[in-house]
């Protein structure tokens, strides 16, 4: 499937302080479920509760497409756009089954 005609979207899900970058919400759900399964397989289920809550928010429709110009306040109180975290060239190279995650609490 060619991604040249698809639009990359920026999603904020539930109350999570993360922005997920992907072509659609379903690929984010698959990404999170794969993370959960990988954690279980590796015997490291720490954090799965949080991931499962995000999946539940997706199932409940508690997400929004915020766009690349979405701004938040960093630890210094400065307004920052989410698009500053990944260069446009990186985002444009996303495959249709790939997801990037910006953890706003770490920035």
Tell which residue, 105, 104, 107, 106, has the closest CA to residue 21.
104
Cα(8)–Cα(6) distance, rounded to whole angstroms? Answer: 7
- How far, rounded to the nearest angstrom, does the alpha carbon of residue 97 sit from its chain's CA centroid? 12
Per-residue pLDDT band at 1 (split at 50, 70, 90) = very low
**pLDDT tens figures, 60-99:** 999 999 999 999 887 788 888 888 888 888 998 999 999 9
pTM of the complete model: 0.85
CB of 14 within 8 A of CB of 59? no
H helices of 1-107, in order, are 25-41, 48-59, 88-92
- Between 47 and 3, residue with greater pLDDT: 47
């Amino acid at each position: 499937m060619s991604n040249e005609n698809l639009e990359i979207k920026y999603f904020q899900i539930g109350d999570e302080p993360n922005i997920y970058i992907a072509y659609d919400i379903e690929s984010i759900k698959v990404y999170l479920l794969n993370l959960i399964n990988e954690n279980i397989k590796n015997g490291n289920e720490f954090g799965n509760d949080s991931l499962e809550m995000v999946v539940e928010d997706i199932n409940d429709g508690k997400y929004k497409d915020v766009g690349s110009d979405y701004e938040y306040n960093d630890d210094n109180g400065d307004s920052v756009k989410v698009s500053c975290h990944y260069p446009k060239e990186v985002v444009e190279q996303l495959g249709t089954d790939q997801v990037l995650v910006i953890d706003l609490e770490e920035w």
